[in-house]
Each structure stands twice: as C-alpha cells, then as structure tokens.
Amino acid sequence: MKVALDAMGGDDAPAVNIGGALGALRHYPKLQHLFLVGDQALLTAECARQGLDLTNPRVSIVHAPEVIGMAEPGALTVRRKKLSSINVAMEMVKDGRADAFVSAGNTGAAVAAATLKLRTLPGVDRAGIATALPNEYGLCHILDAGANPEAKPEHLVAYAVMGTAFSRNVLGIKNPKVGLMSNGEEDEKGTTFTKETFKRLKQTPDIHFVGNVEGRDLFESDLDVVLCDGFVGNIMLKTIEATAKAVSKWLKLEIKENPLRLCGAVLAQGAFRALKKKYNPENYGGSPLLGVNGVVIIAHGSSSALAVRNAIRVGIETVESRVNHHIQEALAAIPLAPDSRE
C-alpha cells in the first residue's frame, strides 16, 4: 500500500503531517511506502527535528516547491500552481505511483485537483465528501460535507448509492440506512429540491431509504448515511463542531465554580475520557471523497498529528475494500438521471 501525503497541507503544516507520518509508519504495517510531498528542504528539516529517519525504505520525500494556501480559491489555484504539493501528490495517484492521496490542506483545491486529474467514476457527475459523525448507534456519514455546494437531485441519488457502497464495504454494515436531510420527517416537507430528491430516492433500488430526517436524527436515530448538498452539509458540520467545543468549555467553567462539582468531576473522569474518545474527530482522521476515480482522503485543516495518522489509516482501509469497484457496480445497476452537465 502506497500513500501520497500532502505534507504542506493544513493549518500547522508541515509539523503535524510529519508527526502523523511517524505514527502511521509505526502503527500500520500494511503501509508499504509513504510519500511526503512538499518542499524538500522544509520537510527534511522537520523530519530531522521529529526523528523521522529518511533512510527508512518505507518513506521518502517528493519535492513540490509550491503550496496552495488555505484561503486561496481552489480550482483557480490548482490550475495556476501546477507544482503545488496537492497537484504533485494527486498526479502520483493518477499515474499509479500511489494508491491513495491524503491531505489536510485546502479542501476546494483537493476536490478540484481530484476532479481534474482523476476524473469521476462512470455514472457520477459530482463527487461528494463523506464525513463521519459519531452518535449513540455508531457512525453516521454526512454526504456531501462540502465538495458540491450546488447539488441537483441526481447528485444526491448518486451519493446515496456511493454512501451505501462505502458503508457496506468499508464499515461492514449489511443494510445501511439512508436519510434525506429536510425540515420535517413528513414526505411532503422540504424545498422543491428535496421533494424531487425524495421522489427519486424512493425509486432507487438497492438502497435502504428511510425518508426525510431532521437535524436531531443525526444523534438520536439509527442512520448510516444522511444526504444533503455540500452547502448545507458543510454548515451543519461546522455548527456541530462549534457547539461541541462551546458545551465542553461551558461545562468546564461550571464545574470550576463549585468545589463539590470539582469532586464529582474527579469521580466522573473515566466517563469524561470515554466520551472524549468517542466524539474526538481526531480518531476518525479524514473523509473520503467518493465518486472520483481514485482514493482521496480529505482531513480537517486543523488536524493534529493523530488526525493525520488516522486519515492515512482511512486511506489504507478504503483502498483495501476496493470501494470504487463496488460503487461502479452499484451505479451500473440503477437507472440514474441524464448527466446534468449537458
């Protein structure tokens, strides 16, 4: 298994990427080779600082002199900075030198590079990001979490098929439950877009469509895939992350206000640790970009070394499961709407 890591991507690059590389090389024996793609001088210095031995035959640096910043426009910058770490790493997947691409860098640039260089799978017009959200039943994937902000009903039908294939073959769920995000559970609720999507999903074979779902269902219902356009998905995901951080901060402040509460918190330390482990996004690593002709894993821009390590793990698991093969088989078996690019 060979992985190309965008070592210059993320808010704290390259330090967190080198730290993540160290962890991946230690913990994942199936990782045959890890390519650290980025500025050679900077990466060599950071590897020396963290003790990553570049004489190790399982790791090497691939020089990429340009970096796409987190605030730069994705598609435009991909075309302009041809020697960026994102472009060079994506080319390695395209050429077969790497089996998977992993980046915590500019999401728009990663999606644009993947679409331009790898192209989409047959039957897929727009790729979608599947982001894991833990709840009391396990993991629920939001699809799309930001790749395609102006989706059409046929895009969400493809997302349903791809999300089902991913859940079955990567996560081992026999009959994944798929819901459509709306402003009410009743069939007639929603916008013109969601109503048309609902109608098409009801007619789509080989997916377990449970109907409309609301925001609370992300945490309270047994769901595996929740469908929405990338605009709604990205806002929803960032709101959830911000709420979790706010509640954690408020809880700490309230506990510190009272000595008795502090004593109770000490007794409940085990529960707090278990809860943090379950809801810590770092443990889930990165999100697969489903629908492109290759394995692309997109991690959060604020990823830590642990998150980068786990994003590499997700890449390995996605390649091993041959998820794109299963997606193609599933898409070929259903009558999708005509290509919206016409």
Q: Which residue's structure tokens are 């995901």? A: 237
**CATH fold group of domain 126-281:** Isopropylmalate Dehydrogenase (3.40.718)
Percent of the chain with pLDDT over 70: 97
Q: 335 pLDDT band (50/70/90 cuts)? A: low
Dig out the tokens for 289 from the structure: 């970009």
98-149: per-residue pLDDT in tens?
999 999 999 999 999 999 999 999 989 999 999 999 888 888 999 999 999 9
Is the pLDDT reported for residue 315 higher than 80?
yes
Is the pLDDT reported for residue 282 higher than 70?
yes
Q: 342 pLDDT band (50/70/90 cuts)? A: very low
Is the pLDDT reported for residue 336 higher than 80?
no
Cβ neighbours for 293, distance < 8 A, ≥ 6 positions apart:
118, 119, 120, 121, 324
pTM metric for this prediction: 0.89
Is the pLDDT reported for residue 337 higher than 60?
no
Distance (Å, whole) CA 67 – CA 284: 25
Averaged confidence pLDDT in the chain: 92
Cα Rg, the chain, nearest whole Å? 21
Residue spans of the domains in the chain: they are 1-124+291-322, 126-281
66 CB-contact burial (10 Å; exposed 0-12 / middle 13-18 / buried 19+)? middle
What's the angle, vertex CA 230, arms to CA 321 and CA 331, rounded to 5?
Answer: 40
Q: What is the 8-class DSSP label of residue 83?
A: T
Q: What is the pLDDT of residue 341?
A: 40
Task: State the average pLDDT over residues 76-99.
Answer: 96
Q: 340 pLDDT band (50/70/90 cuts)? A: very low
Distances (CA, A) of 193 to 68, 188, 197: 34, 12, 6
Q: Where are the alpha helices (DSSP H) in 118-209?
A: 153-169, 192-202
Is the pLDDT reported for residue 181 higher than 60?
yes
Q: 274 pLDDT band (50/70/90 cuts)? A: confident
Q: What is the 8-class DSSP label of residue 100?
A: E
Task: State the average pLDDT over residues 149-173.
Answer: 93
Is the pLDDT reported for residue 338 higher than 80?
no
**Among 18-22, 32-36, 219-223, 292-296, whose mean pLDDT is lowest?**
219-223
Give me the CATH code for the 1-124+291-322 domain, please: 3.40.718.10
Q: What is the pLDDT of residue 67?
A: 96
Distance (Å, whole) CA 204 – CA 288: 23
**Residue 238 near residue 146 (C-beta atoms within 8 A):** no
126-281 and 1-124+291-322 share a CATH fold: yes
If one counts every other C-beta atom within 10 angstroms of the C-beta of residue 334, the result is 16
Q: Which residue's structure tokens are 């402003």? A: 183
